[in-house]
Amino acid sequence: MITANKDIKAVDLVREALEKAKEFEEYHCFISMNEARALEHAREIDERIARGENVGRLAGVPYALKDNYLSHEGETTAAARMLDDFPSPITATAVAKLEAEGAIMIGRANLDAYAHGSSTENSYFGVTHNAHDMERVAGGSSGGSAAAVALGIVQFALGSDTGGSIRQPASYNGVYGIKPTFGTVSRYGVVAMASSTDTMGCFTNNADDMNLIMSIMSGKDAKDSTTLDDFWQEKLEDGKQAEKKKIGLISDFLGDGVDPEVAKNVRDYAKKLEKAGYAVEEVSMPILKYGLAIYYVVQPAEVASNLSRYDGIRYGHRAAEFDDLDGLYANTRNEGFMPENKRRIMIGNFVLSSGFFDAYYLKAQKARTLLINAYNEVFEKYDALLCPVAPAPAFKIGEKVNDPLAMYMEDVMSVPPSMAGLPAISVPAGKTKAGLPVGAQLIGQRQSDQMLLSIAKSVEEQA
């Protein structure tokens, strides 16, 4: 991580990032820029360095903020018309921690509206393009953040991951992305999607940078009762010296329905792990095929609940024309929500309705417990699991936008760890013949996040 010091000016780091953002403007990584305030912060840091003051572990490091994190700087839109021009009254805990260490937000990264999507095509502000192919999606929902890191605009970017929204874009753009153990990072100040699986993570270009960012963001927060006591260590275990683990390669995600080049790249990554001294063997987890069905009952139910607060009265968009209170609600929500938001609200309200609660929502939660038990059982034998992040490389823009089921299938491999609250990271595994990145997914037991990063670092050190 390149930080400011007596020889490297924070102002120069920020200006370079802003210039790159303009150079790659056509990729549409950002919804809005924070140029004036970023340069002001950079000058303050340079002045403090000149006075010999402590400026933090991220002094002058520019970063991109996914636009569902609230911050006093700029407007938090969550890429939705509903929150267009919304000035945030608070700053997210994770953002406050990073900026206390000297990190500088240069702009707000694009995403699917309210983080609902797998391609960033659902953004009210337009689609983000893949860093390796302008005709393809950057993934979602954190597509803007992933592309900004992959293009070299920033050294790290924040994202949120509910069912794959960090890992899948990381895979599509060839960078590192982490979904930490549920409760590792405070959700306070982040626009809620599905509260039982929302996690806050980041994108970087290597394991050490990711470890540093996560060590700063993690820890207990009185404003979020689900946060865990801080278990993160500042330094990552040396990959060469790390105790070698036993890793299970999930065979269920390497067969039918998986792009052959994706399967090959993940198997090649498994060989690199073996070369690094890890024991790798195939393991079958048949229950994983039900993970997506479980997720798309539980998640829309929580989405419907969380989005009920957007009524045109308290904050956000308000319809200009209405006849009565019901009309205000209806018109506001019809205008403010994207089609995917509405789809998930309708599914969620359906599965929570009195006639279908037991048949769908309750049954899905019971199946979720079986999924968690299956993971617990397999972790009695294996220290970590390996599989693809997504069944195929990045698809073309517009290819699946009118096929919700095909879009949801992009999450089939990333959803199961989310439902179990497990840590999972996407690491670059290779590329297809067409030059599209492919990510491998490492999954561990709760609070084994740093072990996964150490495993990834072991492969890094072979290069």
Report residue 162: phi and psi, to 5°: -105, -40
Token pair of 86 as six digits: 């919304």
CB 123 within 8 A of CB 426: no
**CA nearest 341: which of 306, 294, 317?**
306
Cα angle for residues 176, 180, 184 (degrees, 5° grid):
140
Number of C-alpha atoms within 13 angstroms, CB side, residue 10? 30
141 assigned to active site: yes
66 assigned to active site: yes
CB 121 within 8 A of CB 112: yes
CB 17 within 8 A of CB 62: yes
Amino acid sitting at position 56: G
Distance from the Cα of residue 332 to its chain's centroid: 29
CB 73 within 8 A of CB 34: yes
Out of 66, 179, 272, 457, pick the active-site residue: 66
**CA nearest 314: which of 335, 328, 334, 304?**
328
CB 164 within 8 A of CB 418: yes
- Burial (CB < 10 A; 0-12, 13-18, 19+), residue 380, is exposed
Token pair of 14 as six digits: 């920020």
CB 190 within 8 A of CB 69: yes
Alpha-carbon distance values, 115 to 110, 123, 143, 226, 359 (Å):
10, 9, 10, 20, 27
Strands 156-161 and 199-204: antiparallel
Out of 88, 160, 165, 186, pick the active-site residue: 165
Out of 71, 118, 119, 141, pick the active-site residue: 141
Give me the residues paired with residue 108 across strands.
32, 65
Q: How far apart are CA 371 and CA 285, in angstroms?
A: 9
Token pair of 194 as six digits: 């599905």
CB 383 within 8 A of CB 281: no
Q: How far apart are CA 180 and CA 71, in angstroms?
A: 22
Quote the strand ranges of 265-330, DSSP E.
Answer: 279-283
Alpha-carbon distance values, 189 to 94, 96, 151, 341 (Å):
8, 10, 27, 20
CB 58 within 8 A of CB 101: yes
Residues marked as catalytic: 66, 141, 165
